[in-house]
């Protein structure tokens, strides 16, 4: 089989051909029993993402975007197929190994921020680093750097309820990046924000992806945002299809 890296359309010019993808999804299948019926959500979905790429994941509601992100993030297992993170095939991993890869190498951003309500913005970005054994001092320095970069340097001591929706999502993005993951998975990260805030948070997310060199798979309903990412993957009948979108697609 031809390796995904050899596929010219998938492969950005600035990445050496020998670099393994940060994330490879290979032939993923997942179905759910719904009463008498079986719903086939993923039917052999495959894709590869390389460093520094923001990749949009689009498709109608119910097409399987969240299911795919959960499997890519090792939160759920597929019925068949492989998930390879940084060259490691995680298919046979047990719970402890999956958790370790998730904590070290993957950052998640959800539609609703899921910050810890009792803790400040700073602490929400510090805590995942302490879990990995970083010193409090180093963790706070990293958290301040990230929060400062998204304009929250003056909000470090605010709890989530004292932050606006956009500020909560910015904090959640900083939390996802705190441990220098190689992969970001985001499920409608600006879907709960008003259009202006959504635009600003999206710009910051994109800038952070390109600055840090992570690979990111970002589910979105917004085709204009999708068209501004480096690549677009569309869920179609349980398969991932590389798609070309032009700017302004949603307006037509």
Ligand X SMILES: Nc1ncnc2c1ncn2[C@@H]1O[C@H](COP(=O)(O)OP(=O)(O)O)[C@@H](O)[C@H]1O
Q: Which is nearer to Mg ion, 65 or 175 (CB)?
A: 65
* 150-179 residues near Mg ion, rule: CB under 5 A: none
* 99-138 residues near Mg ion, rule: CB under 5 A: none
Question: Of Mg ion, ligand X, none, which one does residue 96 interact with (CB within 5 to 8 Å by kind)?
Answer: none
Question: Of Mg ion, ligand X, none, which one does residue 63 interact with (CB within 5 to 8 Å by kind)?
Answer: ligand X
Residue 63 touches Mg ion, criterion: CB under 5 A? no
Question: Of Mg ion, ligand X, none, which one does residue 109 interact with (CB within 5 to 8 Å by kind)?
Answer: none
Distance CA 72, CA 25 (A): 7
Min dist. Cβ of residue 25 to ligand X (A):
14
Q: What is the 3-state secondary structure (H, E, C) of 69-124?
A: HHHHCCCCCCCEEEEEECCEECCCCCHHHHHHHHHHHEEEECCCCCCCCCCCHHHH
State which of residues 66, 179, 190, 198 lies at the interface with Mg ion (CB under 5 A). Answer: 66
**Residue of 124, 121, 204 whose CA lies nearest to 164:** 121
Distance CA 42, CA 31 (A): 7
Q: Which is nearer to Mg ion, 72 or 152 (CB)?
A: 72
Q: Which is nearer to ligand X, 150 or 223 (CB)?
A: 223
Question: Of Mg ion, ligand X, none, which one does residue 171 interact with (CB within 5 to 8 Å by kind)?
Answer: none
Region near Mg ion per CB under 5 A, out of 8-16, 41-49, 60-68, 133-141: 60-68
Min dist. Cβ of residue 109 to ligand X (A):
14
Q: Which is nearer to ligand X, 67 or 171 (CB)?
A: 67
Q: Which is nearer to ligand X, 41 or 163 (CB)?
A: 41
Residue 220 touches Mg ion, criterion: CB under 5 A? no
Which residue ranges make up the site for ligand X (CB under 6 A)? 32, 39, 41, 59, 61-67
Min dist. Cβ of residue 34 to ligand X (A):
6
Q: How many other CB atoms are found less than 10 A from the CB of residue 2?
A: 6
Distance CA 201, CA 214 (A): 17
For 86: left if phi > 0, alpha if psi spans -120 to 50, otherwise beta; the answer is left
Contacts 24+ apart (CB under 8 A), 45-48: 45/81, 45/235, 45/238, 45/239, 45/240, 46/4, 46/81, 46/239, 46/240, 47/4, 47/10, 47/23, 47/233, 47/240, 47/242, 48/4, 48/5, 48/7, 48/10, 48/21, 48/23, 48/24
Q: Which is nearer to ligand X, 65 or 155 (CB)?
A: 65
The residues binding Mg ion (CB under 5 A) are 65-66
């Amino acid at each position: 089989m031809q390796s995904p890296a050899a596929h010219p359309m998938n492969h950005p010019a600035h990445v050496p051909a020998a670099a393994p993808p940060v994330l490879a999804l290979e032939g993923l299948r997942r179905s759910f029993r719904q009463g008498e019926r079986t719903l086939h959500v993923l039917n052999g979905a495959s894709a590869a993402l390389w460093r520094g790429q923001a990749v949009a994941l689009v498709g109608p509601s119910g097409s399987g975007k969240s299911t795919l992100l959960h499997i890519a993030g090792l939160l759920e297992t597929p019925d068949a197929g492989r998930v390879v993170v940084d060259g490691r095939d995680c298919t046979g991993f047990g719970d402890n190994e999956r958790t370790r890869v998730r904590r070290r190498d993957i950052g998640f951003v959800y539609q609703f921020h899921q910050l810890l309500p009792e803790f400040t913005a700073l602490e929400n970005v510090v805590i995942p680093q302490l879990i990995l054994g970083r010193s409090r001092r180093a963790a706070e320095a990293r958290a301040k750097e990230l929060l400062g970069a998204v304009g929250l340097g003056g909000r470090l001591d605010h709890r989530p309820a004292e932050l606006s929706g956009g500020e909560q999502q910015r904090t959640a993005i900083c939390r996802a990046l705190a441990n220098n993951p190689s992969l970001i998975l985001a499920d409608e990260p600006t879907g709960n924000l008003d259009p202006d805030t959504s635009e600003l948070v999206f710009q910051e997310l994109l800038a952070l992806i390109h600055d840090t060199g992570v690979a990111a798979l970002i589910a979105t309903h917004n085709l204009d945002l999708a068209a501004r990412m480096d690549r677009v993957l569309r869920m179609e009948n349980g398969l991932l299809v590389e798609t070309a979108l032009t700017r302004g697609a949603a307006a037509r």
